[in-house]
């Protein structure tokens, strides 16, 4: 009888993983994975991540995209380095049909416009810059009062996104061009002509990005109409910009931190700013950056404001806590808020952070692979591929968040949590790296100002007749059918 020989060497378990292409669902001829994704693209991303792991591959009507909900992978993808970059000129990029190479947000990192735009635009969006524009932001936020007062007195509910789109555009247009769009003279006042153009432009851009690439060769399609509307947007914005800039004003040196305080608006600063060599921003770059800053600001801020109001009424207790905090802080001023006061309210800050975590408007921040790359986990990404860090899924990844589906502003009360989660790549509502959102200060200040003004003056309730749904075919995540009732508070 032979005895089994015990292996004298202990078993070594390898930590290495094989290099392989990210998995994904089975393809259907012609449409690929379209019906695996739509109509609930966010829910289906979560489902596919749970089935296939933290990196997946999808093909939609011939366009291949790689997605991740893993912060370690997202950190690598969002870096601007030798492996990944932002190149909207690629036909597969979600922003390809908005790929204006004359502005910071939409140009390729390799574009000649990137360096000067990256030099001149950030000072306008810095804390110092936004602090200077606080009166414009507050006045624009308060412009909605007459319409909301009338609606409250008539006991009428509103489609929140429709009003927040007008309010966000009112604020952004005021900061960018110092002009009042007068969109709230009555509850029925329609969006102004520039805002309607921007809305049409953004809608066409998203629809075009979802079509197969051969679709643009058809004689009648969204791509053809998109070019016409884009030119109308440029012409309309340029006309407004010419009225807002001080052509005879003195130069504003970038080396002077307080130079922004002499500008009437963002467009005025960009037009008059000068670097150390005395050079200014080319006119076409000034116009391009103003146009895209308006469009991006309208879109993301209107959705964020809508989800913030949704969170006030959907999650009990938060509206009252916010009102009490605003009341305490408002007693020390005359109702005119400074930048430091707005950002010094702790519960407001925690509340907005949680809205951005659980209801992030941005969901398709994409980067391009400059060469073949192997990402953590052994995932091989071919050169030229598009990789999307899926923020809604990343912000709810149960491996990195405790009770991720629970709306809990108090999770942010822990000192340093936001910075820690940002470093890990687990919390990136404004992206990260060299192409992170330059307008995040304006976006945060805008939503906080609106919440302060509205929550102090009104109480809101959920009047939605059915479950709230989002639009899967828009550039950002926006609620389609969220209705709210308005009651004026008695102070």
Structure tokens at 412: 């942010």
Cα dist from 255 to 142, 270, 282, 350, whole Å: 34, 14, 18, 34
Spatial distance between the Cα atoms of 394 and 431, rounded to a whole number of angstroms: 12
Binding residues: 437
Q: How far is CA 343 from the centre of its chain?
A: 19
- Residue ranges of alpha helices (H) inside 83-190 are 114-120, 122-125, 127-132, 134-142, 145-153, 160-177
Place of tokens 């707005």: 342
Query: By C-alpha distance, which of 267, 254, 310 is closest to 467?
Result: 310
Structure tokens at 366: 């994409």
Binding residues for heme: 437
Q: How many helices (H) and strands (E) does the chain have?
A: 19, 12
Query: By C-alpha distance, which of 161, 202, 60, 181 is closest to 478?
Result: 161
Beta strand pairing call for 386-389 and 63-68: parallel
Place of tokens 């994975």: 33
Residue 112 region, left (φ>0) first, then alpha (ψ -120 to 50), else beta?
alpha
């Amino acid at each position: 009888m032979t005895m089994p020989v015990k292996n004298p060497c202990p078993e070594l378990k390898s930590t290495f993983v094989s290099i392989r292409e990210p998995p994904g669902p089975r393809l259907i001829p012609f449409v690929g994975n379209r019906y695996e994704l739509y109509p609930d693209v966010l829910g289906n991303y979560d489902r596919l991540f749970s089935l296939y792991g933290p990196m997946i591959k999808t093909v939609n009507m011939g366009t291949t995209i790689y997605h991740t909900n893993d912060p370690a992978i997202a950190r690598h993808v969002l870096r601007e380095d030798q492996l990944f970059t932002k190149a909207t000129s690629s036909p597969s990029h979600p922003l390809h049909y908005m790929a204006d190479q004359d502005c910071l947000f939409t140009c390729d990192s390799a574009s000649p416009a990137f360096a000067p735009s990256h030099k001149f635009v950030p000072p306008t969006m810095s804390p110092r810059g936004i602090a200077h524009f606080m009166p414009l932001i507050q006045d624009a936020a308060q412009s909605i009062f007459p319409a909301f007062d009338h609606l409250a007195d008539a006991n009428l509910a509103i489609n929140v996104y429709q009003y927040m789109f007008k309010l966000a555009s009112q604020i952004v247009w005021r900061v960018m061009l110092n002009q009042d769009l007068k969109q709230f003279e009555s509850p029925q006042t329609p969006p102004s002509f520039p805002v309607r153009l921007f809305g049409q432009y953004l809608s066409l851009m998203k629809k075009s990005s979802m079509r197969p690439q051969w679709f643009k060769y058809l004689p009648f399609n969204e791509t053809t109409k998109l070019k016409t509307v884009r030119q109308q947007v440029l012409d309309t914005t340029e006309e407004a910009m010419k009225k807002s800039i001080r052509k005879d004003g003195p130069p504003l040196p970038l080396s002077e931190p307080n130079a922004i305080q002499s500008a009437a608006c963002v467009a005025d600063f960009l037009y008059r700013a000068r670097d150390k060599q005395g050079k200014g921003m080319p006119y076409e770059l000034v116009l391009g950056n103003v146009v895209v800053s308006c469009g991006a600001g309208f879109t993301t801020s209107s959705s964020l404001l809508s989800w913030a109001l949704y969170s006030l009424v959907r999650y009990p207790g938060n509206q009252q806590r916010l009102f009490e905090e605003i009341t305490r802080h408002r007693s020390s001023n005359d109702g005119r808020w400074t930048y430091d006061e707005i950002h010094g309210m702790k519960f407001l800050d925690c509340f907005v952070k949680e809205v951005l975590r659980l209801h992030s408007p941005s969901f398709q921040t994409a980067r391009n692979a400059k060469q073949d790359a192997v990402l953590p986990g052994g995932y091989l990404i071919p050169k030229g591929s598009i990789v999307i860090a899926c923020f809604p899924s990343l912000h709810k990844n149960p491996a990195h968040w405790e009770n991720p589906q629970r709306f809990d502003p108090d999770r942010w009360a822990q000192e340093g949590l936001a910075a820690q989660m940002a470093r890990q790549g687990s919390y990136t509502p404004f992206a990260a790296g060299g192409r992170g959102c330059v307008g995040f200060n304006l976006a945060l200040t805008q939503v906080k100002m609106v919440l302060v003004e509205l929550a102090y003056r009104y109480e809101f309730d959920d009047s939605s007749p059915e479950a709230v749904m989002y639009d899967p075919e828009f550039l950002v995540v926006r609620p389609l059918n969220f209705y709210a009732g308005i009651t004026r508070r008695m102070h």
